[in-house]
Amino acid sequence: MGFKTKLDITGQKVKGMTQQIKGDVEIKSGQKIKGTIDKVRGKANEIEADLRNKVDNNT
């Protein structure tokens, strides 16, 4: 009986650790995606500014 409770505690600990690791991975990949979106947004702004300059030069 005592062994069963010990096993249950270990199972919960492993589950908790797995959730923590999963949380860390989600945060990291979330930041990576956010960083990529920010980069794309920055590029879009550069292109927009570039096009505006070309239009201004042509008029």
> What is the per-residue pLDDT across 3-36, written as a single tens digit (0 to 9) for each?
666 667 777 888 888 888 888 877 777 788 888 8
Band (pLDDT 50/70/90 cuts) for residue 41 is very high
User: Which tokens hold the place of 51?
Assistant: 């096009």
Q: What letters, b where the CB count within 10 A reaches 16 and e where it falls short, cover 26-50?
A: eeeeeeeeeeeeeeeeeeeeeeeee
pLDDT score recorded for residue 42: 93
> In the chain, what are the helix, strand and coil shares in percent, each to the nearest 5?
95, 0, 5
pLDDT score recorded for residue 58: 76
Q: Which residue has the tokens 């999963």?
A: 22
Q: What CA–CA distances, in Å, run from 10 to 1, 17, 19?
A: 15, 11, 14
Domain boundaries, the chain: 19-53
pLDDT score recorded for residue 2: 59
Taking the model in full, what pTM does it have? Answer: 0.42
pLDDT score recorded for residue 24: 82
